[in-house]
Structures are given as C-alpha cells and as structure tokens.
Structure 1
C-alpha cells in the first residue's frame, strides 16, 4: 500500500483497472459506491486505462 503523496506506478494502475473490469464482466460491483450496471465512474476510468481489455483478460486472475 502506498502513501497518498507517493506516485502510483503503471503496474498498480493496470492491476486496479483489470480488477474493476473483471468485476463488471462478472456482473459484480467493483467498489462500495458502484451502482452496478451502467453509470459506474470506476468502470469508465478502467476502460480508458485498458481499451483492449478482452484481449488482456488474464491480468488479475
């Protein structure tokens, strides 16, 4: 876990985005504030980070 003032490395961003997309692919909520299907800001961010997500499905498994 990093402190708030430390930079976040690219691997951590990718892993977090992959976990988010995996949760949505499995029709689960990705975080406490997730509304579920449609309208999730975290999912939108994750799709921007991993535009080729289906091809990278094995990340985080």
Structure 2
C-alpha cells in the first residue's frame, strides 16, 4: 500500500511544495500565538484563569 502511495505521489508535478506550504502555515500560526502570549496583559490572563473558579457566573441547570 505504501509503495502504491509513494509511486502515485511521485507522478504529481510540484508535490514538494505542499509540505513547504504547510510548514510555513504552521510556523506563522505558532509565531503569532507566541507573540500573543508574550504581549497579552497579565490582568486578562489572570481573569481568564479564574473563570472556572468563579461562583458568581454559574447557571442553575
């Protein structure tokens, strides 16, 4: 099965560009995520961290 897939992929023109595009997309995504984590305000992060423990916002089910 793997041999079939490998031979089929070799017949596609420009197939080597797809891994590079996906690497670029993931690199940009994680770079932006890292930038957001570094620049996020500490008060906002603390507030989001305390949300699960906040009893005032619970709904009666």
Decide: shared fold, TM above 0.5.
no
Q: TM-score, normalised by structure 1?
A: 0.32
Q: TM-score, normalised by structure 2?
A: 0.32
